[in-house]
Amino acid sequence: MADFNTLDYRVEDGIAIATFNRPDKMNTFSVVMMQDLLDCSIVPTRTTTCAPWC
């Protein structure tokens, strides 16, 4: 499973779920979070356990 700096990422029932995880900054959006979200969007295409639309 991928490891992100500002997101919790998991797959449940074939659905990828990314949750903001910056409680110390009240989950404000940052450049690092943007990069994590972009990287996160690539993860489902690398696994067969996620989303039938891949």
pLDDT digits (tens, 9 = 90+) for 8-25: 988 888 788 889 999 999
Using the 8-state DSSP alphabet, how is residue 48 labeled? S
**CA 39, 40, 44: angle at the middle one, nearest 5?**
115
For residues 1 and 9, the answer to whether their CB atoms sit within 8 Å is yes
Q: Is the pTM of this model over 0.75?
A: no
Q: According to the model, what pLDDT value does residue 29 have?
A: 93
Radius of gyration of the chain (CA): 12
Could you state, in order of their start, the residue ranges of all structural domains in the chain? 7-46
